Amino acid sequence: MTEPPAAEPSAQLTESEIARVRRRSRAAIIAGQVLAGIGMGSTLSAGALLITQVSGSETLSGMAATMATIGAAVAAVPLAALATRRGRAPALATGAAIAAFGAVVGLVAAIVGLTPLLLVGIVLLGVGTAVNLQARFAATDLSEPGRRGRDLSIVVWSTTVGAVLGPNLIGPGDAVGQAIGLPPLAGAYLFTITAQLIAAAVYLLGLRPDPLRLATRIGLERPASPEAAPRTADTGGIATGMIATSLSHATMVSVMAMTPVHLVHHGASLELVGFTISLHVLGMYALSPLWGVLADRLGREATIAIGQVLLLGALLLLAVGSESELWVAVGLFTIGVGWSAASVAGSTLISESVDVLGRARIQGRADLLMSSAGALGGAAAGLVLAQLGYGGLALAATALVAIVLVTLVARTVRRKVVA
């Protein structure tokens, strides 16, 4: 049996005190996400350019996203295990500190001009993405069932700040770096080091008492409390949530990763490519609170289904309108919106389906599966694009959507049979 995190002090907390801890935890998690997102956004955005500069080869530029994804996947389970043993605060702070150390490694690699060392630094930076994923679950540790989707979605939405501001810090970071004698583009790593270390401090100081440890205690002592996780796991809910989040992520990553290549090959300007990707990121995060509300009101499965319909419509639009820059931009934005719906509702379903003792462990596996699916989707997308073109890639991705829809139907049928 998985050992629960060490119990918080045994003094009984009133509902008002639990509500205060809930608000404090949510604020700390959001602040940490904003800080880490700003740092990650600036560094990973500059990563591809820095790899090209250090290695002298444009063919290695795509390794930045790949290495960061590997870092997120590798760190998912260990960070979840740490959360299970010690609580959310040590796990999130440790991940942020590792990401900061990755920025230090990347900075040194840029100075000495070692490409392998730079790749190692980016892998360590990717641990920050694992923190990002775990934080959305941390937001639900003390949530009431009627607000679990909204609480999770607010943390996802806060990622928008870093996603928007981070890339815009490449220029200022470069200016600061060159002013103190760093190589071009390396200055962005200074922002990441600072932001991640502050984020680690925010987690350690703000998550007191620790929300996961407190939630475990509530679940064991007061299983009827609205904040308590179930004592036994809903394996069907866990499986459905994992399938929805991982395959929706694979769908999104595979198409998104190849869109810049497709647009450039068709003569689009770099400005248009950047605008299209910005629209996509906006779709991924800006509407997250809406999906959180719908997940709480309509149900997790219904909101996942809405996300799949949006993904399917976007993929068909891209397949038909692959030669139109306008339709590609609209389609990619819609894919971001569909991913957001499926991710928020699927993560909420996982969070409410895990038992009180296995909460962080199962969530870590979900994050590992999600990151791995994204990495595989991105890797396979290049091969599919070469063979079938961009429209063919979009059509091929509909198979992933179909699997999620079949899973939802099967879960609905099983629940009706049991009822």
Residue 390's closest CA among 310, 340, 324, 308? 324
Q: Is 87 left (phi over 0), alpha (psi -120 to 50) or beta?
A: left
Confidence label for 10 from pLDDT (cuts 50, 70 and 90): very low
Q: Is the pLDDT confidence value at 301 over 90?
A: yes
Q: Is the pLDDT confidence value at 200 over 60?
A: yes
Q: Which residue has the higher pLDDT, 401 or 195?
A: 401
Min mean pLDDT across 185-199, 246-260, 324-338, 383-397 is at 185-199
How many angstroms separate the CA atoms of 334 and 312, rounded? 10
Nearest 5°: the CA angle 282, 284, 288 is 100
Q: Which residue has the higher pLDDT, 198 or 54?
A: 198
Mean pLDDT value across residues 63-76: 83
Question: If DSSP codes are grouped into helix, strand and coil, which group holds residue 139?
Answer: coil
Q: Is the pLDDT confidence value at 1 over 50?
A: no
pLDDT at 39: 67
Assess contact for 362 and 229: CB atoms under 8 A.
no
Average pLDDT, the chain: 85
Q: What's the half-sphere exposure (Cβ side, CA atoms, 13 Å) at 412?
A: 12
Which residue type is seen at 380?
A
How many angstroms separate the CA atoms of 277 and 259, rounded? 8
Mean pLDDT value across residues 178-201: 83
Residue 319's closest CA among 372, 367, 389, 406? 389
Residue 362's closest CA among 272, 229, 195, 266? 229
pLDDT at 51: 75
Percent of the chain, pLDDT > 70?
A: 86
Q: Is the pLDDT confidence value at 293 over 60?
A: yes
- Which of 157-161, 302-306, 326-330, 355-359 shows the highest mean pLDDT? 302-306
Confidence label for 186 from pLDDT (cuts 50, 70 and 90): confident
Mean pLDDT value across residues 83-92: 94
Model confidence over 101-141: pLDDT tens digits? 999 998 898 888 888 898 899 899 889 889 988 999 998 88
How many angstroms separate the CA atoms of 405 and 403, rounded? 5
pLDDT at 345: 96
Q: Is the pLDDT confidence value at 228 over 70?
A: no
Mean pLDDT value across residues 12-35: 86
Listed in sequence order, the residues at least 6 apart from 63 whose beta carbon sits closer than 8 Å to its beta carbon are 51, 119, 122
Min mean pLDDT across 194-198, 315-319, 404-408 is at 194-198
- Give the domains, in start order, of the chain with CATH numbers: 14-228 (1.20.1250.20), 233-419 (1.20.1250.20)
- Largest interatomic CA distance in the chain: 69
Percent of the chain, pLDDT > 90?
A: 43
Mean pLDDT value across residues 141-146: 83
